[in-house]
């Protein structure tokens, strides 16, 4: 793959995954439930200061986590002829201290795109066009050294959320006049309005043992729910401008115009720091990265109440060389 170059690699993988998609579709049509031997292709690349993982997976090969009422065949045709393409890049620094070694890892780029495998003509003639496809709704990454006996401590740089709330008080006084020889009745009512400003993507860091866990969640800006584990609100399906309608052309879209997402160091470049025992100096450490990616479909321009979420899992080994003191 490295010899082919990135452009030929992408074209090659789209051709391979188109064949895999056709094969799986044929088996599903004949009611055969045998799963593919490998649902995705991924590889890792390690060099001084950089880790990179590249992966490809046809959408039809991803596990279905949830789905709603049955969909029209033309819609299913458009949804299944896509593949997920993802690049995960981390920058790292190794600093030898007096009593330990600091390993500092920063997010450089995480890019996920859902790319169609057929031309626009076929997608329109046999499907419902190119506007109906899945979108990334959650990304979860787990990063840790394989041998953890040399780890002294782990620190993350992202605090848990502490969102500000704007509270507005609305007060009103209602008066009524009763018959003679009675008291004047006064009714006082007070209401409270809470407004919050939420970004569609929420980023969290956590630590489990000697492992760092990074999560990106997409939230529905109408009710704040996590998209990957919910269905579109019924009222949103009939309102004129829910966020997921025309989601690839709206100025408030949480995706690129092609329907993908990019998490770069400008906003998500938070670091994770491991303090490692000095016995690792001059050696090469092996690190493990595990990942889970969720793709969700909510209707875009096509009139339907169908929704579904799919998930894939990958795992790769990375190398890190600790220079001599």
pLDDT digit string (tens) for 252-284?
788 888 889 999 988 887 899 999 999 999 999
pLDDT at 240 over 70: no
Within the chain, where are the H helices? 6-29, 73-80, 120-126, 234-238, 265-268
Residue with tokens 């490295």: 2
Contact between 39 and 278 under an 8 Å Cβ cutoff? The reply is no
pLDDT higher than 70, residue 114: yes
Distance CA 226, CA 211 (A): 24
Q: DSSP alpha helices (H): ranges in 53-148?
A: 73-80, 120-126
| pLDDT averaged over every residue in the chain | 85
Q: According to the model, what pLDDT value does residue 164 have? A: 58
Cα dihedral across residues 143, 87, 117, 300: positive or negative: positive
For the residues 136-153, what does the mean pLDDT come to? 93
In a 3-state reduction of DSSP, which class is residue 318?
A: strand
Query: Where would I find the beta strands (DSSP E) of 177-270?
Result: 185-195, 201-208, 211-218, 261-264
Residue 259: helix, strand or coil by DSSP?
Answer: coil
Res. 214 pLDDT band, cuts 50 70 90? very high
What pLDDT sits at residue 188? 47
CA-CA distance, 182 to 188, in Å (whole number)? 19
Which of these, 117, 107, 110, lies nearest to 136 by C-alpha position? 110
pTM: 0.86
Place of tokens 């050294």: 145
Residue 292, pLDDT above cutoff 90 = yes
Structure tokens at 283: 């050696």
Give the model's pLDDT for residue 316: 96
Beta carbons within 10 angstroms of residue 134's beta carbon: 21
């Amino acid at each position: 793959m490295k010899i082919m170059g990135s452009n030929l690699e992408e074209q090659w993988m789209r051709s391979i995954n188109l064949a895999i998609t056709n094969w799986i579709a044929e088996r599903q049509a004949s009611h055969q439930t045998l799963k593919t031997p490998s649902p995705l292709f991924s590889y890792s690349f390690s060099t001084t200061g950089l880790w990179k993982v590249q992966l490809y997976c046809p959408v039809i090969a991803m596990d279905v986590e949830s789905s709603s009422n049955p969909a029209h065949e033309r819609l299913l045709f458009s949804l299944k002829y896509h593949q997920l393409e993802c690049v995960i890049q981390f920058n790292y620094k190794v600093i030898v201290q007096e009593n330990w070694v600091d390993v500092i890892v920063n997010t450089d780029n995480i890019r996920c795109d859902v790319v169609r495998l057929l031309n626009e003509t076929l997608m329109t003639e046999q499907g419902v066009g190119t506007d109906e496809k899945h979108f990334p709704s959650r990304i979860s990454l787990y990063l840790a050294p394989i041998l953890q006996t040399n780890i002294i401590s782990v620190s993350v740089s992202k605090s848990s959320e502490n969102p500000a709330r704007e509270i507005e008080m609305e007060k009103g006084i209602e008066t009524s006049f009763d018959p003679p020889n009675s008291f004047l009745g006064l009714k006082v009512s007070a209401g409270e309005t809470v407004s919050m400003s939420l970004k569609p993507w929420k980023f969290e860091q956590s630590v489990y043992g000697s492992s760092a866990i990074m999560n990106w969640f997409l939230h529905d800006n109408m009710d704040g729910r996590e998209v990957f584990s919910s269905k579109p609100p019924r009222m949103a399906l009939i309102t004129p401008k829910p966020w997921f309608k025309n989601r690839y052309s709206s100025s408030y879209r949480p995706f690129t115009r092609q329907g993908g997402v990019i998490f770069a160091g400008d906003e998500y470049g938070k670091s994770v720091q491991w303090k490692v025992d000095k016995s690792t100096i001059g050696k090469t450490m092996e690190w493990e990265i595990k990942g889970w990616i969720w793709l969700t479909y909510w209707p875009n321009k096509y009139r339907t109440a169908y929704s579904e979420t799919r998930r894939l899992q990958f795992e790769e080994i990375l190398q890190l060389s600790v220079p001599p003191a």
